[in-house]
């Protein structure tokens, strides 16, 4: 996904919170499925099916900025300009590590 520079903090917060919520819900879901069906196989099949349903939804709903139907032309041009600026060597800000800190 592509986010304008000024909205990247919000996007990262959403993605990080989503993975944390998923990590909190998954054990409860799997244990509940295990208890309900009496074995690990149905719990495995249900969670795997949920993963495939998410994959299908993502493939159907995701559009790159060049072809996205719900963004304005102005926003599209802004995103593409930021991508082009970042692709040019020296076009984006570089963050340097402090001395003694390896990345």
**Cα–Cα distance measured from residue 58 to residue 61, given in angstroms and rounded to the nearest whole number:** 5
pLDDT bucket at 84, cuts 50 / 70 / 90: confident
pTM here is: 0.62
Question: With 0-12 CB in 10 A as exposed, 13-18 as middle and 19+ as buried, what is 72?
Answer: exposed
Dist. CA 79–CA 70, nearest whole Å = 14
The span from the first CA to the last CA of the chain, in angstroms, equals: 25
Write down the H helix ranges in the chain: 8-37, 40-61, 73-87
Query: In this model, does residue 57 exceed pLDDT 80?
Result: yes
- The predicted model gives 51-56 an average pLDDT of 96
97 pLDDT band, cuts 50/70/90, is low
pLDDT score of 95 more than 60: no
**Token representation of residue 67:** 């072809």
Burial class (CB in 10 A: 0-12, 13-18, 19+), 91: exposed
Q: Which pLDDT belongs to residue 5? A: 75
């Amino acid at each position: 996904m592509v986010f304008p520079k000024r909205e990247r903090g919000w996007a990262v917060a959403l993605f990080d919170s989503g993975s944390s919520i998923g990590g909190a819900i998954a054990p409860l879901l799997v244990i509940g499925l295990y208890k309900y069906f009496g074995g690990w196989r149905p719990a495995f099949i249900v969670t795997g099916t949920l993963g495939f349903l998410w994959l299908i939804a993502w493939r159907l709903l995701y559009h790159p900025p060049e072809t996205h139907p719900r963004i304005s032309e102005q926003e599209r041009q802004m995103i593409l300009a930021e991508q082009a600026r970042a692709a040019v060597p020296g076009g984006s800000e570089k963050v340097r590590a402090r001395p003694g800190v390896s990345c």
